[in-house]
Each structure stands twice: as structure tokens, then as C-alpha cells.
Structure 1
Amino acid sequence: MVDMRFLVACVVLWVHYSCGALAISNTTVKCRVKERLSLLSLKRGFVDPRGCLSSWGSSENHTDCCTWNGVSCDSRTGHVDALDLSYYSLEGNIPLNLGYLSRLQTLYLEGNQLEGGIPKSLALCNLTVLDLSDNSLSGQLDEFVASFDQCGSISLQNLDLSYNCFTGSVPNFSRFSVLERLYLSDNQLNGTVNGGIGLLSKLQTLDIASNFLHGIIAETHFSRLSQLGYLDMSLNNLEFKISPDWIPPFQLFHIHVRSCKLGPGFPNWLRTQKSDLSLDISNAEISESGFELKFVRRLNSIKFFTDSYGDYVDPNNRGPSSTEDIATLVWKGKVSKYQSILRLVKSIDLSCNMLMGEIPSELMDLVELVALNISRNMLSGKIPATIGQLKSLDFLDLSRNHLSGRIPSELSQVDRLGVMDLSHNNLSGEIPHGTQLQSFDPSAYEGNAHLCGAPLPKCPTSPTQDHPNDENSEEDEQIFGRGFFISSSIGLGTGFWGICSLIFLSKAFRYAYFRLMSGIHDKVYVIVAINVAKLRRWRRGST
């Protein structure tokens, strides 16, 4: 039998802890005094022209810093664990005493007008999210990374330093072992990319676009990036030197490497990407004889890509787009499995490469296409007549290629076309008649020496056009002359011998005929005799 004393002790302990928990839940935890003072000092360090920090004060109504604008506290400990001062129009430098908030886990200072460097005191070991984007911060990122050496382990998962003025190289982030998202785009980074970035096995997003980075990108930069899905290195001077046999450890949904050197051949490692993909490899010095159509058919979005367009993928988007039929056209989708997805492709930009061959007729099957840019390549042949199928096309740029032949009349059926450039090709003949085609500026057709018709000057009229059937006309006249005389002779002969036959064969007709002729003879004789007599009398009277 269970000891009653044991049961009583258990009940007492249960009541004690239940009442204690209830008392704690009814007690409002306020922020720590030390951290409140740090925040007040932080307020004095910022220039706040809009007064967004006006709720931060020391009066009785503002003693609890956990209720201040942009401040969040841990509900159990009262420590400040989150600070969101985004788009407060704050000015000045980042105050040094921000580092006194040692329990801070998330810090958002994006969209302000902050200047100077990142203070070393901001290297908080518990920090998981740091967003300093869209400011005017400067300095070397090496110094920022080195400031975390004090930490036994670094908790940072999301680091956004984009749209600032940082210089130097992309440093060695290998100690940031749990980093998932790294945004360094739109700075003034002018060094190389450290290979240590390839050791970040948790990294999902890497965006270093729109800088002045140079140097080699090798397999080591991606060696352990098995979780990577978003890669943007575009608008740099980077050169990819990847083995043709290399199989990357990732499957990307977004690859933008515009203006990086990938060529001269089409990169084999891109062919391994099988997920729905937004790809930008424009101006990548790819010199391929013909398009990689099999690869293209695996792409949901093909954009050897310039700009976001309408409701397409936004290059500044921090992650995958939720729009299902987004496409930045650049070779996407298996023919068998993804034909329906291909029809959702909206934009294709393969400009500024060295692509050769004819324009694939398969491109004209993308009936939802809104923008097509394959300018500044080495494409030849004719513009496919099936281009008239692209009824939704609003932007078309085929300029600066070696296209020849006539502009297909089917192009005039694309009545939504708002921007078009066919300049600097070898097109010839008359521009097809259509409201849209005649409304474009002549510059859209310039550089095609044998192209004519509105809005260009009228097509010259050749002698054959002035007298298109001169030889035939002379031949017709000759034929008409011979035919006329032959038919006339036959008619006269038939009539003459027909009358003669009737005179000889029909007695009644013969009498009637001669009576008619005699009557006519008499009338003519009388008329002539009378007129001759009148003429004689007139002459006698005049003498």
C-alpha cells in the first residue's frame, strides 16, 4: 500500500508550483534597467528627424522599454531580444552602445540614412538576424567578419548588407556555420570572392550581384552548398572555371550570372539543374552553335534575363517568388513533362551573347510570351513566320544579329506589340502593312539597307514595276493584230458568200435584193442630180 505521507508530499509540491506559476503569469515582466539606459543612450546617438523614437523616454509613462516603438523583449526574462528600426529615416553613425544589448537576437536598421562603418561592438554572438541594407554604410567587410572572432559560436542566420557602400573583397565567412541567407549586392565591392564561402553547408541564398568583383569562381566556391537555391552573381567581372564533369551539390530555382564569363561553351553544370528555374546568363560570352533547346524546355522561366517585367520575377526579391507562371526565360523544362509549364513562360532575354544559328521555331510555341530579347548575338536565317502566334507579345528585340529575308507578314498580327527593335540586321523587302509596324520609330528598322516602306522611305519603283508587262503587252498587241485581221477576214468572207448563196438559191430573195439595190440606186441618183444642179446654179449666180 502506498505510503500516505508520500502522497501528501506530492500534493503539497503540486499546489506549491501551480500557485507559483500562476503568480508569475500574472506578473508583467519589465525590461532590464541596464538595457533601458542603453536604449536611451542609443536614441541620443541617432539623429531622428521624424521623431520615430519619441516613445523612448524616462518619464513614468515610458519606463518600460519593452513597450517602446520597435523594441521587443523576452516575455520570461525581460531582456531586449529584438530591435526593428527599419525605415525610421535615422541619420548618423551606428552608435557604439548598441553592442550593450548582449541578448539581442534580431536587429533591423534597413532603409535609413546611416553612414560610417559597422562598429565592432555590433558583433553580438546571439544575433541571428542582422539587416543593415539600404543605407550608406562603408568600410571593409573583412573587419566586420573579424569582429566575430570573440564568439565561441556564431548564431547569425540572416545577414543583409546590400545597397550600401562597402568596398574590398567578399571575406571568409567559413566560421558562420549556420548562415542561411547572405545579401551583399549593390555595394562597391571590388576584390575577389573568398573560397571559404563554399563551406557554408546551411546557406540557401547567396546574392553578391551589382558590384565590381573580379577573379575566378571555381568548384570550391560551391563545394558544400547542398542547400543553396538562390544564386545571384550578376553584373560583376567574375570568370567561372568549372570542370565539364562537375556535378554541383545543389538544385537551384534562381541563377543569375549576367555579365559573368561562362563561355565559350554552354556550361554543363547548368544542365544538371532540374527544378523550376529562373535563369539569367545574358552577356555571358557564350558562343554556342544553336540554342540549348533541350535545356530550355526544362526551364519555367528563361531569361538570359535583363529586368523584371510586369508581374515577373523581381531581381531584388530576397527569395523564391510565389507566382507560379513567372518566367525569366532561359532554357527551362523537359519537353515531355513540362510542356504545359513552358507555355507559361513570360520573358526571354538571351541578349549579348554569341549565339549562332537560326531562331528556333520552338520559341514561337511559347504563346504566353510577353517579352523576347535575343539581340546582340550572331543569329542568322529568317524570322520564323510562326511569330504571329505570340499574340501576347509586348516587347520584341531582334536587333544586331545577321537575320535576313523579309519581315514576315504574320508579325503585323501581333497587335499588342508596344516595343520592337529589328535594327542592324540584313532584312530586305517592304515592311508588312499593319497598324503596329507602321507606328514604330524608323530607328527600329535602321541598319537594314534593303528594307523599305513606311515608316522608312517608300520602296523604289524599278522599270519592271513601271511597266511590269511591257514584253507581254507587245506580245499581246501582236496577237491582237493578227487575230483581229483573221477574224475580220473570216467574217467578211462568210457574210459575202452567204449573201451570194441566197441570191443564187432563193428566187424571192434575189428579186427583193435587186429591187432594194435598184431603189437605193435611184434614190442616190436623184440626190446626186439635185445637188449637182444646185451647185451649177450657184456657180452661175456667183459669176
Structure 2
Amino acid sequence: MMILGGRSLQLVYALLILLHMQTSVGFNSTTADYKIRCIESERQVLLTFKRSLVDEYGMLSSWGSEEEKKECCEWDGVQCSNTTGHVTVLILSLLTGNLSPSLFELQHLTYLNLTRNDFNLSHIPESISSLNKLQHLHLQLSNLSGSLPNQLANLTSLQSLDLSHNEFTIKNFEWLSSLSYLQYLDLSGIDLSKVSNYMAEAINKLPHLTILYLYACNLPYVLPQSIPMINTSTSLAILDLSFNNLSASTFQWLSKFHRSLVRLDMSYNSIQGLIPENLGHMTYLEILDLSGNQFGGIPKSSGNLCKLRYLDLYHNNLVEMLPELISNLSGCLQLSLEELILGENKIKGPLPDMIKNFLSLRQLDFYNNQLSGTLPKSIGLLSKLERLQISSNSLNGMITESHFSNLSKLQGLDMSFNPLSFNFSHDWIPPFQLDDIKLVSCKLGPMFPRWLKTQRNFSYLDISGTEISDNIPKWFWNLSSRAYYVNLSSNDLYGVLPNLSATKFADSFGLQIDLSKNKLEGPLPVFPVNVTFINLSKNNFSGSISSLCTITSGNLVFLDASHNQLSGKLPDCMTQWTSLVVLNLANNHLSGKIPSSIGSLSCLESLGLQNNNFSGEIPWALGSCSALQFLDLNYNSFSGIIPTWIGERLSSLTFLLLRSNNFSGDIPLKLCWLTNIMLLDLSNNNLSKNIPWCIHNLTALAQKENSARDHSFPIRIDADPENNGRYADKASVMWKGMERDYGNGNLKNLRIIDLSSNKLTGEIPVQISVLFELVQLNLSRNQLAGRIPSDIGQMRQLESLDLSQNQLSGHLPESMSQLNFLSTLNLSYNNFSGRIPLSTQMQSFNASAFVANPSLCGLPLTPTCPGDEKSKSKSTDNGGKDNQEDRSAFWKSFKPGMELGAAIGFVGVLAVKLDHPWKHFCFLLFNNVRVRFSNLKDCLYLLVAAVGLVTREHVSRLGRKLKLFEPSVSS
């Protein structure tokens, strides 16, 4: 029999069971007219069991029907023996309730399948022991729990047992050893870490065991090796140990089955080093999956696996040169191997010509390695090849018709992210009909590839970023009725799109179209009603967006028409888009009010309407979009107050951007309910009154945990392999005084509050100091008064602080010297007084950061503060003794360590220009050195050395200017 990959074996085995059931219970044409009478006691058992269940989907609607007077043997899911009338088969699913012990009074059951139910963590009752005729028991995915009863040992007729993916606790395997007829066993998803020793021994005592699934069982790093082989199974053919914690030592145990194993899956374990040589002894292997480990090489003995058809080493640590690796696979293996998967490794070198020896290959996967050189034309000799995956390497050169000369069976082609150039004759007709076409970032242009006209069966096409500068030909839109994903983005395509509503695309997946980053113009086309994903951003489309109202299937999840020339109002047809997750219409000329139908978008997570001409108030209906995480209304003409319901109803908001609108009134206290907010921008409006005192409740700004997440889709959303079917929000952010665009996941690393350019009054709330993870705070250009909170130094992650153009007063808190990451500071145009705190940071800023504070003094603003002259006079009255001591101490410490001071001080000064984490390192280094100096003057002398004033003359001149010391010539 053919051995299949994945879990196809389970389906095959299930089919065999059903065939067995048909013969054993007499369901065939000769008994079709025979009416099987139901045994009344068993009928009552079934009805009792029904009463313990909730049948939400009507699975038991035929049970106990009084009108039709059906016998219980005719109920759905029930089968009886045609000789005795006893219930022998029971198959039920999609039910909720408890697993009633009454069910196990059906003592003549031979097949019981309760897969995919919800039994509310019920336990398997001990009365299951009464089912001593049971041959097949399947309870997977039924939300069962508790310890497995030892009474399972009484089910001695069992041939198949599936308990997988439940919450069972297994304390021992004594019961398993009694099931000597067992052929199929699945315990996947059950924690076996504490009983693995007993498990291995019990398995060895099952002489007929053929199929064993132990997927994700938390099996330990090392399995026991000294297990006796008494009555050992010699029939184990299929073994799945994937997603555990196993090591290479497991191969010693597996060697005991080297004469029987046909399929072995050890993917995603903790296996490191070289694949053991004894793997080559498993000469019956046909399927071998070792993906997701840390294997570093393939042994030469692999070439002895003469029956191996499928070899998967995806996502390992293979660092061999490809010619050497292919050489290790030479031997009888190269005659049998059909699928070779080596993607996500570190394999280097060129594709060798010797690959032509693997003439049975149907799939060849070298995705994301370090291959270089040109693609050999001998690849065209692989006449059985169906899938070629060589994307994300460094292959180069020209691809011609000869590379595909004999690939008539090719269905999947992925050569993306290689600097390859395609050069086909104008009238070339490929020998293949492709299903998947992925050529991202290859060079296909400048003309639209005409050979695509022959491909009429593709379902997936991605030719984004392929340097095409041309019209999209009309024939393209009528190519394949199977297409569900079409990506032509990042080219120079121009022209007007036709009406696409009549185009035949695949219905099963929903259509996904990406035409972004081109030069397409004219009105938006009419799309098919089943479209799921539309990206038209960064083109020159103009006119209304009302044509989108033809999308009526309710399956649209993604719509991005940003960065175009679209105008007019938002159509009031969004009630048809109930599945929409992302809506981005930013950077257009749209106007008017947001229609109330936006409240129908209950799945909406991201809404971008920034940089348009929208007006009016934020509609109350938007509060129904409770899943919203990203809301950007920047640069519009919205007015009215900021609604309080934003805090009440949009609790998932992570980014709220309302900059440059006409909002008035105060900042509602209920915005403090937005505990997930990471970027709050209310700047450049007409907001007044106080900053809410409850601002400390914005807990995402106080915790290191990142609450922001990208939006996930059941579809692929673009060609970028890094995205993995996820969409990251993009926004324009004022960062350190400059407007910058953030996206590609970088936005979620920012933690910002910007309330600048409003009419806010009152004091800065002291509670703001607990927002420990805030990186930027901008309260400038308001009417704030009072002092800077004294504990502002607790905000250690601050990189940018702007409090300029307010009416703040008082001394600058000494704790500001603790803001070691601060690289942008503006305190100008206030009423601060006193001395600027001394620290590595504060003296590194330009004087412009402190100007227009008449009573503020100290470096870098002024050389001295009031009272410094009096201090100097006192020193003079002591006969210059203090100055002399200062000079002696300075030169004594300065001269021996001048070079060290210059280097370390220079690092300290430059650190303010560096980005985290290097900045943090520099500050730690500087501070560790600084503690060796005895007073503040010595620290200043170190700074003098740092900026290059290292000669005695320079030091003396600066010292006299600052009136700190006057070194003598003799010094």
C-alpha cells in the first residue's frame, strides 16, 4: 500500500475501519431490504445519553422521533448488527454536555467514535470496562480530562485507540500492555513527560502495533535506552514523534524498528549535531521528516535509503556546501527520492549539475539558503519535477527557455528574491501549466511577460517588484478561473483598469488583489462580489469610491486605497463589509462626515483616514467597532469634543492619533481607561483645561510588555516573506521634532504622548512620572503652569522631552540628571529659575534648549550662577589656599590619566547622539569612571579633556573663564 505523508495515514486507516464495519455489521446490498429491529433496552440507553447532551447543530434530530417511529438502528450515527439487533456502532460529533456512564451499557459496541465533542472536561468512567467487545475507540478532541482508568486494560479486543488532544493525565501504562491486538494508537497532545519510561516499555510489548502518533507529548530530552526487547513489535511502520523535546539519543531506540519503519516524523524537537550514521540502516523508510531541528549535516549513509521518497530537513542548521551535501545523498537514494526539502538552512555554493542524477524528483526546495551562482540548465532534465522552490537566495544570471525545456509537469515555481533576469522569446509557449507562480523581485520587465498568456490554471500569481513598465494587457484579466491571489504591486504599471466584476476568479478562497505602488489611474474599477483583499495604495486613482459598494458578499477583510487622488464622500454602504479588519483611505481628498454605517464594522481593527478633508464630529456609531486597535484621524477638519465613549467602548485601542484637527473642550477623563494605549497624539487642536490627573492609568506606557500586535488574516496579504500573513499599521509620527513615517512593525516599538499646540492649563500631573516606559513626551506650546514633577527622573526611557513655550516655573528637578537616554530636550520660553542640574546629559544640550528662562543659570546657558562670586571671594580670603589645593588636586589627577580621560569623556559626550542600546552602555561606562573623582570640579575637568582641551594652556584658559582654578606656570 502507498504510504502517505502528514496525517493522511489516519484517513486511510479510518477508511479501512469503515470497510471492516460494513462487512462485520452486515451493511451491504443483500441486507438492504431487511428491517433491523432495535432492542428496547438499548434504545432507552441512547435516549438517556441524549438527555445529558446539548444538540446545538441538530445532530440527534432523528433520535426518538415519534412521528416517523424510526427504529433506533436507523437513527443518525447508530448502526446495529443485522443478526442480533444489538447496537454495534456509534458515531457522534459536535455535541456538548457530559460523558454519561449510561452509554457504556451498550456492551455489544465494536466501534465507538465520539470525536470533536465538548464533554466539559468529563472523565472516562470506570464502567468503560464493560465494553469488552470494542475494537475501535476514538475520543480525540472531545474536551475530556482526568486520569485514564486502569479498566482500559479490559478492552482486550481493541485494534485502534485514539485519545489525542484531550486533557488526560496518564500516571502509568499498565493498561496499555494488555492491549495486545492494538494496531493504531494516538496519544498526541497529552503530556507524557512523567511516564515516558513506562511508555517506551509498553510500546515494545505491542506486537501488532503498526501506527503510533505521539505528536506534542512533551517527551523528554533523553528516552531510556536499556529497554528489553521482549515481544517487541516488529510491525511498527508509522511513527510520529514531532513537536517534543527529544535528542539524537532517540535514534538508538528507533534502531530497534529498522526493519519495519516506513514513515518517521521527528520534526521540531531539540536534536542537534550530525544526523546519526545508523539512520542509513533504516532501509525500509519511505518518508523521513526531520524539519525544525538543529541538524548540522547529512551522513553519507543516507545514500543507502533505497526506498526513501520524501526527505524533509527544512529549518535546520545545515551549513554544508551544496555539492558536498548532494554527494552525501548519492547512491540508491537518488533513484527513489521524489521530494527533497532543504529550505531555511545555511547551505552555500552553486546548484551543481549532478542534481540531474535525481531524475525521480517531484519537489525540490532550497528556499532561504545562501546559494549563489547561476541556475544550471540541467535542471530542465528533471522531467518529473512538479514544484521548484529556490527563493530567497543569491542566485543570479539569465533564465532562458532551456531551463524549462522538459519540465512539462511543473505546477509550482518560486524563484522570488533572487537577482535573476528572465529572457524568453516573444512567442515562447512553456511546456507547463503552473498552479503557483512566484517571481517576486526577479526581472521580468520592462514589457508585461507575454508567456503568462499561456498559463490558464494558476491560482496564485505574484510578480511584484519585477521591473515591469507597461499596461496590464486585457487578456490578463480573463486567464484563470482558479485564481484567488494576484499581486502585481511595486512595478511601474500604468493605464486604466477595466471592469473586473465579470472576471471569473476562484470562489473557494475569496479573491485577493494587490496592485499597490504602481502608476495606475482613472476611476476605481468594479470588483467581483467575492473579493476578500484589495490593496490599491500608492497609485493615481481618482474620483469617487462608491464603486466599492458592489462588494456585497460580506467577505471583504482588507481594503487599502491610501495615497491616491480619490475624492467625494464615504459611501453609506459599509453594512455590507461586516468582516472588514483593515480600512485605510489615508492621503486622499475625501471629504464630508463619516457615515453611521461605519458602526457595522464590528471586526474592524485598523482605521486610517488621516490627511483628508473629513469634517464634523466623530460619529457615535464608531463606538460599535469595539475591536479597534489603530485609529488615525490626523490632518482633517474634525470638530467638536473628543467623545468620552472612546475610553468606554474602544478599550482595545493601542494607537489614537487626532493631531491637527479642530477638536475643542477638555481631554475627557475616560481616555484614561485606554490601558492598552501606546501612542496618544492629540496635538495641534483647541483643547483646553487640565491634563487628566488619571494619566497614570495608561498602564501600557508604564510596562515593558508590548500590548501592540499586528493584525492577522486567514489569507496572505503581501509578498514580503517576513510578514507571514500579517499586516502592520503605518502612521506619520512627530519624533524628536521631525515628522517621520513609521511602519513595518516599527510603530509598535514607540511609546509617545503628544499634547502640544493646544490651550491646556493647570499643572503637569505628578502622576505622569510613573509612565516608566514613555520614550517621548511633548507638552509644548500650551499654557501649563507650575513645576516639573520632582520624580520625572523615574521616566528612565525618555529620549525626547519638550515642555517649551508654556508658563512653567520653579527649579529644574535634580532627578532630571537621571534621564540617561535623553537626546532631545526643549525647556525654552518658560519661567524656570535656579541652576541647571549637572549631569552627562544636561550639559550636552545646546543652550537653545534652555533659552528665554531669565532666572535659569548654569551650563550650558551661563558659566555661573548668582552666589558663585561670593564663593570665590571666600576662597581668596583664605589666602588662595582653596585654589591652590584645587590646582594641585586637578593636575595630580589630570596629568597621569589625560589620555584615559579624553577617551572616556569623549564617549560620554557622544553617547547622547547614539541610539539605544549603545547609549546605555556608554552611560554606564562613563558613570563607572566618574565615581573615582572626589568632587564636581574633577568631573568637569574630565569633560574638558573629553572635548579636546587637553593642553595645559587650554585647560588654564577655560578654568580662568569659569573662575574655578588658576594653574600656575610651574604646574
TM-score (ref. length: structure 1): 0.59
Which of 236, 252, 258 aligns to 2:440? It is 258
Given candidates 124, 127, 132, the residue that maps to 2:313 is 132
User: What is the one-letter code of the residue matched to 1:358?
Assistant: G
1:289 paired with 2:471, answer yes
Residue of structure 1 aligned with 2:230, choices 50, 56, 61: 61
Q: Evaluate the alpha carbon distance shift between residue 167 and residue 152 of structure 1 in structure 2; reply closer, same or farther with a 3 A threshold.
A: closer
Does residue 399 (structure 1) correspond to residue 562 (structure 2)? The answer is: yes
> Is the 1:261–1:285 contact (alpha carbons within 8 Å) kept by the matching residues of 2?
yes
TM-fit CA distance, 1:59: 1.8
C-alpha separation between the residues in 1 aligned to 2:443 and 2:357?
29
Instruction: Provide closer, same or farther for how the CA distance between residues 194 and 238 of structure 1 changes in structure 2, counting only shifts above 3 A.
Output: same
CA distance in structure 2 between the partners assigned to 1:408 and 1:217 by the alignment: 47
Distance 1:388 1:79 in 2: 64
Matched residue, 1:388: 549
Amino acid of the residue matched to residue 543 of structure 2?
A: K
1:89 aligns with 2:258: no
Among 295, 312, 324, the residue aligned to 1:143: 324
Aligned partners of 2:595 and 2:522: how far apart in 1? Answer: 25
Structure 1 residues 404 and 235: CA distance shift in structure 2, 3 A: same
For 2:535, the equivalent position in structure 1 comes to 373
When Rg is computed on C-alpha atoms for both structures, the one with the higher figure is 1
Question: Whole-Å Cα distance in 2 between the matches of residues 258 and 288 of structure 1?
Answer: 17
User: Partners of 1:68 and 1:128 in 2: how far apart?
Assistant: 15
1:423 is matched with 586
Q: Answer yes or no: is the 8 Å Cα contact 2:338–2:363 preserved in 1.
A: yes
Letter in 2 for 1:395: F
Identity within the alignment, %: 27
Question: Taking structure 1 as reference, are residues 297 and 431 closer, same or farther at Cα in structure 2, changes over 3 Å only?
Answer: farther
Unaligned runs of 5+ in 2: 1-216, 241-256, 490-496, 619-632, 640-971
Q: CA RMSD in A?
A: 4.1
Show CA shifts across 1:180-207 (max 9, x none): 1112223343544333222110011112
Deviation at 1:438, TM superposition (A): 11
Give secondary structure in 2 for the equivalent of 1:137: coil
1:254 Cα deviation (Å)?
1.6
Which of the two has greater helix per residue? 1
Give the 5 Å matches for 1:81-120: 82-87=262-267, 89-98=269-278, 100-101=280-281, 103-120=283-300
Q: CA deviation at 1:147?
A: 3.1
In the alignment, which residue of structure 2 is the partner of 1:267? 449
**Is 1:361 matched up with 2:519?**
no
State the AA in 2 paired with 1:420.
L
Runs of 4+ aligned residues of structure 1 deviating over 6 Å after TM superposition are 437-443
The verdict on how the C-alpha distance between 1:445 and 1:244 changes in structure 2, with shifts beyond 3 A counting, is farther
> 2-side partners of 1:418 and 1:301: how far apart?
23
* TM-score in terms of structure 2 length: 0.35
Give SS of 1:288's match.
coil
Q: Deviations over 1:96-146 (max 9, x none)?
A: 423542734424233442331222332236132212223333222221223
Which residue is equivalent to 1:27? none
Distance 1:125 1:139, change over 3 A: same
Q: Distance in 1 between matches of 2:293 and 2:540?
A: 47
Q: What SS class does the counterpart of residue 380 from structure 1 fall into?
A: strand
Q: Residues 125 and 153 of structure 1 are in contact (CA less than 8 Å); yes or no, is this contact kept in structure 2?
A: no
Inter-partner Cα distance in structure 1 for 2:541 and 2:599: 22
Residues 239 and 88 (structure 1), Cα distance of their counterparts in 2 relative to 1, 3 Å cut: closer
Paired residue for 1:181, among 348, 360, 363? Answer: 363
Please say which of residues 413-422 and 195-204 is displaced more in the overlay: 413-422
CA deviation map 1:398-456 (0-9, x unaligned): 223x433324525545442321122234x2433542352899899823344x5555545
Output the amino acid matched with 2:582.
V
The answer to whether the 8 Å contact 2:293/2:316 transfers is yes
Partner Cα distance (2:482, 2:574) in 1: 28
Q: Tell me the distance in 2 between the aligned counterparts of 1:272 and 1:301.
A: 14
1:254 aligned partner, one-letter code:
D
Q: How far is 1:345 from its partner?
A: 6.2
Q: Is the 8 A contact 2:236 2:260 kept in 1?
A: no
Q: Deviation string for 1:52-102 (max 9, x for gaps)?
A: 88476562427566549839xxxxx98456350423624122344235427
Question: Cα 1:293–1:447, aligned 2, differ >3 Å: closer, same or farther?
Answer: farther
1:122 counterpart SS class: helix
Report the alpha carbon displacement of residue 161 of structure 1 after superposing the two structures with TM. 1.4
Cα 1:186–1:458, aligned 2, differ >3 Å: closer, same or farther? same
1:50 matched to 2:219: yes
Q: How does 1:465-476 map to 2 (within 5 A)?
A: none
Task: Mark the runs of 5 or more structure 1 residues left unpaired by the alignment.
Answer: 1-47, 72-76, 308-330, 461-543
Q: 1:370, CA displacement in angstroms?
A: 1.7
Native 8 Å contact 1:352 1:375 kept in 2: yes
Q: 1:387 to 1:158 in 2, by over 3 A?
A: same
Amino acid in the other structure paired with 1:346? G
Whole-Å separation in 2 of the counterparts to 1:420 and 1:191: 43
Change (3 A) 1:150 1:84: closer
Q: Which amino acid aligns with 1:264?
A: P
Distance in structure 1 (CA, Å) of the matches to 2:488 and 2:472: 21
Q: Secondary structure at the match of 2:328?
A: helix
Structure 2 counterpart SS, 1:381: strand
Change (3 A) 1:445 1:169: farther
Contact kept? 1:347, 1:371, Cα under 8 Å:
yes
CA distance in structure 1 between the aligned counterparts of 2:230 and 2:487, rounded to whole angstroms: 54
Q: Give the counterpart letter for 2:587 in structure 1.
A: H
> Of residues 510, 519, 522 in structure 2, which corresponds to 1:346?
510
**Contact between 2:361 and 2:382, CA under 8 Å: does it hold in 1?**
yes
| Separation of aligned partners in 2, 1:358 and 1:119 | 60
CA 1:114–1:205 in 2, change beyond 3 Å: closer, same or farther? same
1:283–1:353 CA contact under 8 A, matched in 2: no
Q: Which amino acid aligns with 1:159?
A: L
Q: Say which structure, 1 or 2, has more relative contact order (CA 8 Å, 6+ apart).
A: 1
CA distance in 2, matches of 1:442, 1:431: 19
Alpha-carbon distance, 1:369 to partner: 1.3
Distance 2:338 2:543 in 1: 52
**Residue pair 1:139, 1:165 contacting (<8 A) in 2 also:** yes
Is it true that 1:458 corresponds to 2:458 in the alignment?
A: no
Matched position secondary structure for 1:300: coil
